[in-house]
Structure 1
Amino acid sequence: MAVRSYSLFDIWPIINRWKRLVGVAVGSALVVSLIVALLLPNIYKSTAIFYPTNPETTDPDRIMVEGSRLAPGGRGEDLDRVITIGQSQPVAEAIIRRFHLYEHYNAGTPGNDKADNAVLREFTNNMSIVHNERDAIELTFKDEDKVLASNVANALVAMIDSVNQQLTLTNRRRVVELYGQQYEAMTKSFTQARQQLLSARRRYGIYGLEQESKYLAKEILKTERKLREAEGSGASAATIAGLRRALTGLTRADGGNVLNLENYVQGIDSLELFTTRTEDLSRRLVKAQGDYETAKVSLESQVSSLYIVQPALPATKQAEPVRWLIVVSAVFLTFVLSVLLIVLLELYRANRHHLVTN
């Protein structure tokens, strides 16, 4: 004969028969879990939220072409680098020593392997650093002392910032050097352009005086008129020759005059080109000098590599333990285990009775 099976409808009568035992078990679980929950210390957690910035990673190839400036940016590699720094052992050990966590965690004497592993494990369990859905980083630290929790979290952020700056310091210096090279190159180009402009002025006799062209035209017309008058009035040959030499000097480059019509016409276009280039290089030189000085100040002032949205503050309420949840979970689990135990016991008795009967 087949052994009689139990359904869910058969459980209640079984519980009713064993209600005293089940009641004792559940009551004991209630009392014990309540005592344990009340004895557990309050745990507070403080969270700092920040974005990683990277003023060092401006593309060097774009500096000379587009004049890119140092600007923050939160790329995936920046997020990964900051999280890796925060989870690194050197950072943890520095914070542990700074806040005397060996004594706080009662881990033992520093330098002992067992104590070192214990305090490091406790610290790691209490600290979490994650990348949230808004591309920010949340760093959380838990402790029984809410002030200590906030101080440790803020110290961790500062330590991450310091290490991140050191990691990218070489690249930042390279960017500053490129700005310096750009400034030096612009200075040389501007100096050469000024020399070319000065040489052209000397060659063509054009110095940009306000009345220069008017004076030349006036003198040419005046000299030419005197020459014509001298020729018409029968003046001496010496006078006419002198006026012709004067007119030649005013109109021809080989006439001996620094300012003459031929050089003026030939040089005006060249001077406009040199002047335009010099003015353009002057503006670019001023910009290059400003970029270089800004980059130097940024390097020397050690601009933060993190943009802190929310510093860690002492918690106003506990995060752990959730005492009611502990009590409810313990009572429910005890009830389920008790029911399972008595059902198994009933099945065992029924099977044994069936075997004896047969």
Structure 2
Amino acid sequence: MESGGDFKRPFLSGVILQVVYHYRQHLAILGILSIVLSIVFSSPGFITPLYKSTVILYPTASNSISKVLLSDNFNNSKDILEFGEDEQTEQMLQVLNSNKIRDRVISKFSLMEHYGIKENASFRLTELYDEYESNFKFRRTEFMAVKITVMDKDAQMAADMANDVAELIDSTINNMQKQIAVKAFLIVEREYLKLEEEIKTKEDSMTVLRQYGVHDYESQAEMFNMQLAMEMAKGNRESIKRLETKLDMLAKYGGPYVSLRDALEHDKKQLSELKAKYEEAKVDATQSLPHKFVINTAYKAERKSYPIRWLIVVTATFSVLLLAIIIFGLFEIFSGALGNNIKKKSTIETVA
């Protein structure tokens, strides 16, 4: 039992050391070769160096100018100077990943030519979009900010593109909002002008009724009836006839006057409310505010960010040596050389 334990112990704990010691020269040669080759193949001649530029920004808390500046709702919690929260951050990330920004960046910086994609290639757009997505990254930071990262072989171009993407956020969001805001404004404007015209027509009708002597139906009717009663008591027929004529005129046009007056009062109240909406819609359709607070702008990187040569060299060398040890170890096990060495060692220890 002890010999069996002695046989298992070096197999479990010492096989790697035995393989390393036995093939130390081979491993040294492989290590040196892997270092040299990884240095060579990670050089600019094989892997294009990429420079990284980043922009960090926060979204604003509100997207509507009128709601923040013109609204009478003082309980509105949105502040024009307040940083946005999760919802606004997610919305901004969706905008950054939209094809509206992607296509404008591709067009402005001629990225198809810059990435070396041929115009007549069968899958030129697929290659272009894949290259764009690999070089442009947008993510949320742990502080709820938005980080824009751009990688490119041209350090200055990487910084310019990162800054340009940040600038495109405002115009892209404004363009999308204006499409709706302008239509909403035209609807409100049409209703506002229509109601204004209706009020003008009713006011003209009231002017005509006043020409017939109808100025205030209730007070006039009360006054004429009192005077009629007094004149009838006096027996003044001429005054009675004159008052009856006025009462007949008042009876004829009093009803339309009251209807127009009440409708006009209602329309003017509605016009006042509609005017507030009209002014808000006009501001939203014609004015714009920034949708971001830029914390850090991008600058030209002085050192490349990719590839990280030391990491490639270490990873490649370690992988080669590990694979070589495994292969040599399997070779020793299946060839029986390792077992013979272990048995010899066990015999020597027993004799001793």
Which TM-score tier does this pair reach, normalised by the shorter chain? Answer: 0.5 to 0.7
Partners in 1 of 2:282 and 2:79 — Cα distance? Answer: 11
Q: Is the 8 A contact 1:129 1:139 kept in 2?
A: yes
Q: 2:292 maps to what in 1? A: 306
Separation in structure 2 between the aligned mates of residue 303 and residue 172 of structure 1, nearest angstrom: 14
Tell me the residue number matched to 2:17: 12
| Cα distance, 1:299 vs structure 2 | 5.2
Counterpart of 1:56 in structure 2 is: 64
Indicate if the aligned counterparts of 1:44 and 1:143 stay in contact, CA closer than 8 A.
yes
The answer to whether the Cα contact below 8 Å between 1:107 and 1:115 also exists between their aligned partners in 2 is yes
Report if aligned partners of 1:56, 1:172 keep a CA contact under 8 Å in 2.
no
* 8 Å contact from structure 2 (residues 149, 162) kept in 1: yes
What's the CA shift for 1:51?
1.3
Q: Which of 80, 101, 107 is equivalent to 1:97?
A: 107
Summarize the alignment of residues 78-93 of structure 1 with structure 2, pairs less than 5 Å apart.
78-93=88-103
Task: Tell me, yes or no, if structure 1 residue 132 matches structure 2 residue 118.
Answer: no
Partner AA of 2:309 in structure 1: R
Q: 1:44 aligned to 51, 58, 61, which one?
A: 51
The two structures have a TM-score, normalised by structure 1, of 0.59
Q: Which runs of 5+ in 1 are unaligned?
A: 189-284
**1:322 Cα deviation from its structure 2 partner:** 1.4
> C-alpha displacement at 1:59, in angstroms?
5.4
Q: How far has the Cα of 1:11 moved from its partner?
A: 2.0
The share of aligned pairs that are identical, in percent, is 21
Paired residue type of 2:98:
S
Partner Cα distance (2:79, 2:185) in 1: 9
Post-superposition offset of 1:137:
0.6
Amino acid at match of 1:42: P
Aligned length: 251
CA–CA distance in structure 2, aligned partners of residues 55 and 119 of structure 1: 32
The residue type paired with residue 134 of structure 2 is: N
- Residue 338 of structure 1 deviates from its aligned partner by 0.8
Shift of 1:144: 1.0
**Deviation, structure 1 residue 167:** 2.5
* AA aligned opposite 2:72: M
Deviations 1:262-317 (CA, angstroms, capped at 9, x unpaired): xxxxxxxxxxxxxxxxxxxxxxx9xx99x998986675342222222222211122
Q: Bigger shift: 24-33 or 71-80?
A: 71-80
Structure 2 stretches lacking a partner, 5+ long: 200-271, 341-352
What is aligned with 2:117?
Answer: 107
Q: Does 1:162 align with 2:162?
A: no
Equivalent residue for 2:26, pick from 21, 39, 45: 21
Question: Which residue is 1:146 aligned to?
Answer: 155
Cα distance change on mapping 1:134 and 1:151 into 2, 3 Å = same
Cα distance, 1:348 vs structure 2: 0.6
Q: Does 1:332 align with 2:318?
A: yes
Q: Which residue of 1 aligns with 2:245?
A: none
Q: Indicate the SS of the match to 2:48.
A: coil
Alignment of 1:226-305 (within 5 A): 300-305=286-291
Question: Residues of 2 paired with 1:347 and 1:12: CA distance?
Answer: 14
Separation (CA, whole Å) in 2 of partners of 1:345 and 1:104: 50
How much has 1:159 moved relative to structure 2? 2.2
Taking structure 2 as the reference length, the TM-score comes to: 0.60
